[in-house]
Amino acid sequence: MRLSLVVLVLFFSSASSFSRADSVPAIQDGILDLTHWRFEDQGALKLNGNWHFHWMNLQDPSGTLADYPGYMPVPAVWNNRHFKGEQMSGSGYATYAIQILRAENAEPLHLILPEMNMAFRLWANGAQIASSGVVGTSSEDSVPRSQPLIASLPDSTDIVLVLQISNFYHMEGGIPRAIEIDQSETVLSNFELTKIINIFTIGALCIVALHYLALYIGRPEESGYLMYAILAILFGLRVLAVSKLPYLLIDHPHIVSTRLSYITMFLLPTVYLLFIRSLFPKEVSKYLAYSLLVIGTLGTCWTMFTPASVFTTSRNLFSNIIVVSLVYTVIAVLLAAYRGREDAKLVLLLNGVLAITGINDTLLYQQLIQSIDLSQYGFLIFISGHAVVLGRRMNRSFVRENEAKRELAEFAASLQSRVEERTSDLAEKVGLLQRKEEELAQAREVAVNANEAKSKFLAGASHDLKQPMHALSLYVQMLENSIKKGTSEAVTTSIRASLLNLDTLLDDLVKVSQLEAGVLEPVVRSIHLGACLDGITDEFALIAAEKGLDFRSVRTTALVRTDTDLLGRIIRNLISNAIKYTNEGKVLIGCRCIFRSS
């Protein structure tokens, strides 16, 4: 809130200059009357108005103002203007002139000449007082130089200023910025103050950039640190490009300043959009941000590898793209503030500060208000405010990390305790499992021994039972021979069949014991399946008749390879179960061939 109030006070104080604009003397027909202007009270004055003008002519500085055929507004560029029926282009040369009237015994005055991206020479009452580059009538004999200068005016009540300009370098020709006049002491003190502010700003931006580059190296996942460091570097280069400082330190080529000015203009908005995306990733489209960065990079390459007369013509095109980038950035910050993102309101306020200072300077350069240049202060507040945003985020990150470390330590202690408990329980369960395995092994051994004993018992019992059954068969034979033929013959036949069946079952029992003992091997041979079925049918005929069932078999001539005894056992079990579980009706036994070998 304090920051916004300060900016608003500065803005409205500068806007209040509208009220004094009516009383500011203007250049009328090439004459500026300062006889009633008090610089100590009313401040500096811009030499705005209609200057005497001669197109495509380097007028003699010692000549008279009557030699000039027309007038040209200042500040303004002469591109696409018409002078004496001729359309002017950006490239060319001309002479400007005005007459300044002063009061007697007035304080010494200085002129503040801005950067004009061209060559110029300035005379006062026929004496040269300033120059930048080499003024010529063609691109071969003209050497441009973009350099702000301070020139002392002669102590006279009537001063004629003559300004020769040649431009074969920049897209725009003429005087694009206002020339100021003020008391000498004020100009020099302001110049020193501006120099100190620029040195401080550039130094602070360098320190900030190095600081956040170091933070990014330590925390590469925080892309916002890298974006902010790049922003600080670009802001520093921007201040260096538009300030007077480089001209005081080195005699560097003007092209460096111009290129830096355009490069930073292309890159600052796009890098700032990436920085905003690092703060509010859900509000900024990744594809749009990187697309604008590619466009800014293309503009940078265009500026670096083409002459000024070429790359300056692309300013309007790239300016439109920059406007789109800035508008999208503001919309994204507004959306973040609406959604309650952390620090979104502060970022929105900083954008408002930059917008207010930018509007102020735009109106100032267009001569719509009388104010001071606030852009450097707006930039300083803007970049410092975002450092505060990152600092707040860093503090919150440290707090969260400390809380996470504390919770992790507590969890580790709890986990260690639970691991020890689970290890103890697992050891007990392993011991119990080992005891169970030992008991199971013992039980398995007992079961194996019992099964072997059972098998041996069944084999022995089957062998022992066959002897009395054989004897019984002999006794039945003797009874059959001694009894006369009659009804008793069928009974004895049945007894004999039953004995045979019993003998077969006992043989099967022996085979079962042999199977369990692993000593039985099937004897496979070819047999007639019909004979096997007939014999088995005869064995169960009386049992089926006694139950009242219609029992019969289907004749077959099939020949199969099998173990006769084992197959007979399977068929007997099937017939026995069929008769046992059929209360009425019939039981039919037969076979069907479902597979034929080749």
Global pTM? 0.55
Best CA proximity match to 97, nearest among 149, 34, 165, 30: 30
Q: How many Cα atoms within 13 Å fall on the side-chain side of residue 411?
A: 6
Element (H, E) at 279: helix 254-279
Q: What CATH topology corresponds to 24-178? A: Jelly Rolls (2.60.120)
> Which CATH architecture fits 522-598?
2-Layer Sandwich (3.30)
Report pLDDT for 195: 75
Query: What is the distance between the alpha carbons of residues 248 and 233, in angstroms, rounded to a whole number?
Result: 21
Instruction: Return the amino acid letter for 486.
Output: G
Query: What is the distance between the alpha carbons of residues 412 and 398, in angstroms, rounded to a whole number?
Result: 20
Radius of gyration, CA atoms only, the chain: 57
Best CA proximity match to 110, nearest among 157, 46, 180, 52: 180
Q: Is 343 left (phi over 0), alpha (psi -120 to 50) or beta?
A: left
Sign of CA dihedral 171, 173, 178, 179: positive
Report pLDDT for 17: 42
Instruction: Report cis status (omega within 30 of 0) of the bond before 75.
Output: yes
CB 334 within 8 A of CB 348: yes
Report pLDDT for 7: 45
Report pLDDT for 161: 94
Query: What is the distance between the alpha carbons of residues 16 and 515, in angstroms, rounded to a whole number?
Result: 118
Report pLDDT for 467: 46
Element (H, E) at 526: strand 525-528
Please return the burial class of 51, using the count of CB atoms within 10 Å of its CB with bins 0-12, 13-18 and 19+: buried
Q: Is there a common fold for 24-178 and 522-598? A: no
Residue by residue, pLDDT tens for the chain (598 residues) are 444 444 444 444 444 443 344 467 878 889 999 888 888 778 788 898 899 999 999 999 988 888 899 999 998 888 888 888 888 988 899 999 999 998 888 888 889 888 777 889 999 999 999 998 899 999 888 888 777 788 899 988 899 999 999 998 888 889 888 888 888 777 677 777 777 777 888 888 888 889 889 988 988 888 888 998 998 898 888 877 776 666 655 555 556 777 887 888 888 888 888 999 999 999 998 888 888 888 888 888 888 888 877 877 777 777 777 778 888 888 999 999 999 998 899 999 988 887 888 777 666 655 466 566 676 677 778 888 888 888 888 888 888 888 888 888 888 888 888 888 888 888 888 888 888 888 888 888 888 876 776 676 566 556 545 545 654 565 566 566 666 555 555 556 656 656 666 666 666 666 655 655 555 677 889 888 888 888 788 777 777 887 888 888 888 888 889 988 778 878 888 888 888 888 888 999 988 877 655 4
Residue with tokens 């005005």: 98
Element (H, E) at 231: helix 223-242
CB 15 within 8 A of CB 382: no
Tokens found for residue 141? 């004999």
Instruction: Return the amino acid letter for 555.
Output: R
Query: What is the distance between the alpha carbons of residues 197 and 380, in angstroms, rounded to a whole number?
Result: 10
Domain layout of the chain by residue ranges: 24-178, 190-397, 522-598
Report pLDDT for 505: 61
Task: Spell out where 134-291 has E strands.
Answer: 149-152, 158-167, 174-175, 180-183
Instruction: Return the amino acid letter for 32.
Output: L
Instruction: Return the amino acid letter for 73.
Output: P
Report pLDDT for 128: 94
Report pLDDT for 579: 84
Query: What is the distance between the alpha carbons of residues 465 and 177, in angstroms, rounded to a whole number?
Result: 134
Residue with tokens 């004895």: 492
Best CA proximity match to 296, nearest among 278, 335, 323: 323
Could you give the dihedral angle defined by the CA atoms of residues 431, 436, 439 and 443, in that order, rounded to the nearest 10 degrees?
-160
**Rounded (10°) angle between helices 315-338 and 344-365:** 150
Exposure b/e, 290-319, CB count within 10 A at least 16 = b: eebbebbeebbebbeeeebeebbebbeebe
Element (H, E) at 547: none
CATH class of 190-397: mainly alpha
